[in-house]
Amino acid sequence: MVKRLILLIKDCLAELNSYTNEMIVYPAKNEKHVITVFMDITCHYCHLLHTKIKEYNDLGITIRYLAFPRGGMNTKQQNKWKLFGHQQTK
C-alpha cells in the first residue's frame, strides 16, 4: 500500500514538473527547496504569500506559480494572469 502511494506521488510530481514552461518562477540563489503554488491572482492569501517572495528566496526556497483561477481558465481572471506573467518576465 505504501509503495503504491509513493509511486503515485512520484507520478504526480513528474506530471507537475512537465508544466514548468507554463510557470512563473522566482528562483532562490542557493536553492534548498522548491514550492509550486496554484495561484489565483484575485486571492488575498496568494497576494500575502507573494509579498514574502524575497524572504522565501533568501531562505533558499524557489517559488513556482501555476495559474489556477477560481472562475476557470477562460475567464477575466485568466486574462489578468497572462498580464501578470508578462510583467514578471520583463
Question: Which of 6, 8, 84 is closest to 46 using CA atoms?
Answer: 84
Active-site hit among 11, 12, 58, 70: 70
Quick check: is 43 catalytic? yes
Instruction: Report the greatest alpha carbon distance in the chain.
Output: 47
- The yes-or-no answer on residue 11 being catalytic is no
Catalytic residue among 4, 11, 40, 58: 40
Catalytic-labelled residue, pool 4, 12, 43, 64: 43
Active site residue 70: yes
Which letter does DSSP use for residue 22 in this model?
A: G
Q: One of 4, 46, 58, 64 is an active-site residue; which one? A: 46
Active-site amino acid positions: 40, 43, 46, 70
